[in-house]
Structure 1
Amino acid sequence: MKKLMTATLAVAFTASTGLIAQTPSSLNERISSATRVVDEIMHVPDGGIPDSIVSKATCIAVIPSVKKAAFVVGASYGQGVVTCRTGHGWSGPVFIRLAGASFGFQIGGQATDLVLVAVNDKGFQDLLHSKFKIGADASAAAGPVGRNAAAATDISLKAELLTYSRARGIFAGVDLNGATVSQNTDDTRLFYGGGDVSYPEILHGNVRTPSAARRFVSTVARYFRSTR
Structure 2
Amino acid sequence: MASLTSSVHAGMHILEHNQSEIEPAWLRRAAGIVILEHYKGAFFFSGHVGTGFVSKRLGPNQWSFPSSVALFGGGVGMQIGLQKSDIILILESPSEMETYERSGQLAIGSNVGATLIYGVDMQVGASAGRGGTALLFSEGRSKGAFVGVSIDGSVLVTNYFANRSFYGKGHRIRKILNNRIVPDGKSLHVCLDLNDFLVAMGNDDLTNHSARILPITDEEDEDIDLDEKRRKEAGCSH
Task: Say yes or no: TM over 0.5.
Answer: yes
Aligned pair partner of 1:176 in 151, 161, 167: 151
Kept in 1: contact 2:43–2:81 (CA 8 A): no
Aligned pair partner of 1:203 in 177, 185, 193: 177
1:96 and 2:73 aligned: no
Cα gap change, 1:188 to 1:63, in 2 (>3 Å): same
Aligned pair partner of 2:52 in 53, 64, 80: 80
1:186 and 2:161 aligned: yes
1:34 and 2:6 aligned: no
Cα gap change, 1:95 to 1:195, in 2 (>3 Å): same
Cα gap change, 1:178 to 1:52, in 2 (>3 Å): same
TM superposition score normalised by structure 2:
0.65
1:55 and 2:46 aligned: no
Cα gap change, 1:157 to 1:54, in 2 (>3 Å): farther
| Contiguous gaps of at least 5 residues in structure 2 | 119-127, 144-148, 205-238
- Greater per-residue strand proportion: 2
Task: Considering Cα pairs closer than 8 Å and 6+ residues apart, tell me whether 1 or 2 has the greater RCO.
Answer: 1
1:221 and 2:199 aligned: yes
Kept in 1: contact 2:44–2:80 (CA 8 A): no
Matches within 5 A, 1:101-120: 101=74, 109-120=82-93
Cα RMSD (Å) of the superposition? 3.3
Cα gap change, 1:69 to 1:144, in 2 (>3 Å): closer
Aligned pair partner of 1:139 in 112, 118, 123: 112
Q: CA deviation at 1:100?
A: 1.0
Residue equivalent to 1:13: none
Q: CA deviation at 1:187?
A: 0.8
Question: Secondary structure of the residue that 1:177 maps to in structure 2?
Answer: coil
Kept in 2: contact 1:140–1:177 (CA 8 A): no
Hey, what's the Cα distance between the residues in 2 that align with 1:59 and 1:213? 15
Hey, what's the Cα distance between the residues in 1 that align with 2:161 and 2:53? 13
TM superposition score normalised by structure 1:
0.68
Q: Deviations over 1:70-125 (max 9, x none)?
A: 34422110111111111471111000111112699x99623100111111211221
Kept in 2: contact 1:142–1:175 (CA 8 A): no
Hey, what's the Cα distance between the residues in 1 that align with 2:36 and 2:76? 15
Q: CA deviation at 1:225?
A: 4.4
Kept in 1: contact 2:96–2:106 (CA 8 A): no
Letter in 1 for 2:40: K
| Contiguous gaps of at least 5 residues in structure 1 | 1-16, 146-154
